[in-house]
Amino acid sequence: MYPTLEQVDAADRYQLCSWWRFLPSPGSRVLSRPNYKQEDFNRALEAEAKIMDRISARMNEVGGMTPEISKSLGWGNQ
């Protein structure tokens, strides 16, 4: 589940990096739903892309991913 913009603005560096690594591509979760409609995908894509853009901007503000955070997060499913 994507965080809200408010959650993104309040998140610490570690949380931002976790979202960056583990959130699915904007809109992609709709594609796995049976009988999804194009307008559902478009709506999810637009909303989630705004959130991912804000995560990216915040990551730049706080210094981005570090090797230590990357190692701590790992690559497992979150």
> In sequence order, what DSSP letters do the residues of 15-46 get, joined into one string?
HHHHHHHHSPPTTHHHHTSTT--HHHHHHHHH
Condensed to tens digits (0 to 9), the pLDDT of residues 4-53 reads: 999 999 999 999 999 999 999 999 999 988 898 999 999 999 999 999 99
Sign of the torsion formed by the C-alpha atoms of 64, 65, 69 and 74? positive
pTM, entire model: 0.87
> pLDDT at residue 77 above 60?
no
The set of residues, in sequence order, having a beta carbon less than 8 Å from that of 46 and lying 6+ positions away, is: none
Give domain limits for the chain: 5-73
What is the spatial distance between Cα 75 and Cα 58, in angstroms, rounded to a whole number? 21
